[in-house]
Amino acid sequence: MANSPMKLSVVEILEPMHEQGWIRSIDLALAKYLEQLAGPDEEILVLFGALVSHQLGRGHPCLDLHGLLYDPETTLALPPEHASALAREDCMRPAMLVCLYFRDYGSIPMRSKLLQVLPEDPAAPIGSSNSPLVLAPNGRLYLRRYWNYELSIKNDLRQRMRQQPSVDSAALKQVLDELFGPLTAADEYSWQRLACALAMRSCFTIVTGGPGTGKTYTVVRLLATLQRLREQQQPLRIRLAAPTGKAAARMSEAISTELNNLNCSDGLKAEITTEAVTLHRLLGSLPQQRGFKHNHSHPLAADVLIIDEASMVDIEMMAAVVDALPAHARLILLGDKDQLASVEAGAVLGQLCREAEHGHYSDATANWLNETSEQPLPMDKMDPQGEQWPYLQHTAMFHVSRRFDPNKGIGKLANEVNQQQVGWLNDWMYGQEQATAQQQQLDNIDLLVVETARAPAFKELVLEGLSGLSELLQQRPAPSATDVEFDDWARIVLTQLGQFQLLAATRVGEWGLQGLNEQVIRWLHGDLEHVDGWFYGRPVMITQNDYSMNLRNGDMGIVLQRRPDEPLRVVFWGADQRIRWIVPSRLSFVETAYAMTIHKSQGSEFAHTVVVLPDRDMPVLSKELLYTGITRGKTRVSLVCANPWVIIQAVKRKISRSGGL
């Protein structure tokens, strides 16, 4: 820089950071707007505005001023990994930038039209203000809109937790015995039964746990319990929703399947809905607007709302949900708190469930559960100071997976990654003598270390995984076959499509989504002419909800052709296992899906999952990302990387999003 930094304004310092891709255009634009409003000694607030906006782009609803003061580069993740050496010299590093403006809290102008400082006492009145920035206790700095989101969620959940509907303990015990079976002395502790009882205590409940731990099993029985014990004559109005179309479809399928296993009358089953929709459709999206049709003034017609895959719900969407949900209605969140958080800002489920694995149940909660479910809580889940964890008094966490054995294979690897245990991973991946026993325990886990994504060993793994699909594509029925026979063949092809899946940690680069899809097309078709075109056998994913076609974000399909004289069609699952043949020109939001990102795979499962990591460490790599990728596999998981050290670094890194929920 030609001039001394002290002679430059905040905006002049931020402009090179924007030019080099360190911050976004919207971050710089906000700084320019605040600069017009700032007084002579308020440049620090201009800087804060840009940095809060930058953190929003990274998924944080607020800026942690403690972290900014003592470790600015880690807090802001700047300089970014992709920044060149020249860019690093051209831009001011965060440590220097912070030193210029934020030496201590005394440098913050507490009386400014740009900033509202909230009282330390939560009981003290907040007062009214329209300032763009809000400073909350513990050094959390918000843009006002996101502070309002968080405040509305906290106020709403607090009110729902206080609502304690009257429950007949004897009647509840009888219903639980009917739905779960009567307790015997030989029974193991049933967290599913406990969760059902806990949900009757208030109008807010969280049920969390990993894949196969019984969340759907429990929620179906919870719905039956609510209908059986309702006080009103008419059946409860139950709504089911999920963040994405694919998650909603899987929720509908899972609840329908489990409902068939429920031990109750057909009349009661008929009162339990199985239709799930996306949250956007539930609330009623409005064109060209952030708001929704349903809000506080026009609430949903619902007595119970259950949201699946709640880890994917961001803070703005959750605020819209509680705003639209009637005050009397029950809100039940289902999800895996250890999975990746939402793509947008916030980690609502993760924050509400923090420390759920330790229980922290109060005496009052324990007494309620003992009276209503006849099961005393384990002592290691009790906490004399449990009231300090208000959300956990309404949370049930399941620990035992019926899908994975925790002592071997996918279950063991997922647990070790989740607990950030790296010692044995290091031995296993680097071939130490101690790894022999570990390898026996990881009987359905493969590790493939290759220098490039073009390596013959990786090619062999991929082509072997896709061989079943390739064979089915070659076994197309004869042109004389009936449409019914072609539908039967398409069902088999779509089923095979879910048997093998490449999962990428990133979108760009040789090891990312784009590079992997291009590489597989080269191997299968010999060139890249097909990359952006339609070709026979192309697997595709819908990337945005398309209500006109009744297709959801995340839906998977494949390009097939019935007869030589007919055009190509894209085949998708329809209702009741029916087959839909759609002309490609009618699809607007679609991409090739030999590989998909781990983020996009949430809510899905595949027989054999191949998790591909980049050749160098990146901030996006975390134990949550790796855990999510590993648990997408049902019977086999392959880890592919150029350097096992990247896996170790990912396990060591834990996502921690700022927020005050």
Question: Does 211 appear as a known binding residue?
Answer: yes
As a whole number of angstroms, the distance between CA 314 and CA 549 comes to 26
As a whole number of angstroms, the distance between CA 253 and CA 220 comes to 12
Question: Does 154 appear as a known binding residue?
Answer: no
Question: Does 543 appear as a known binding residue?
Answer: no
Tokens standing for 440? 């026996």
End-to-end CA gap in the chain: 41
340, amino acid identity: L
At 454, which helix (H) or strand (E)?
none
Q: Residue 503 phi/psi, 5° resolution?
A: -120, 125
Give the DSSP per-residue string, 107-161: GS-SSBTTEEEPPSSTTS-------SEEEEGGGEEEEHHHHHHHHHHHHHHHHHH
Question: Does 212 appear as a known binding residue?
Answer: yes
Contact 294, 228 (CB under 8 A): no
As a whole number of angstroms, the distance between CA 514 and CA 654 comes to 26
Q: Residue 38 phi/psi, 5° resolution?
A: -75, 145
As a whole number of angstroms, the distance between CA 368 and CA 164 comes to 11
Burial of 58 (0-12, 13-18, 19+ CB in 10 A): middle
Question: Does 274 appear as a known binding residue?
Answer: no
């971050």: which residue's tokens? Answer: 27
Contact 204, 157 (CB under 8 A): yes
Strand, helix or coil for residue 25: helix
As a whole number of angstroms, the distance between CA 571 and CA 613 comes to 30
The two most distant CA atoms of the chain are separated, in Å, by 82
At 595, which helix (H) or strand (E)?
strand 595-597
């191949």: which residue's tokens? Answer: 610
Question: Does 181 appear as a known binding residue?
Answer: no
Question: Does 210 appear as a known binding residue?
Answer: yes
As a whole number of angstroms, the distance between CA 394 and CA 324 comes to 21
Binding residues: 209-216
Q: Which residues does the annotation place in the binding site for ATP?
A: 209-216
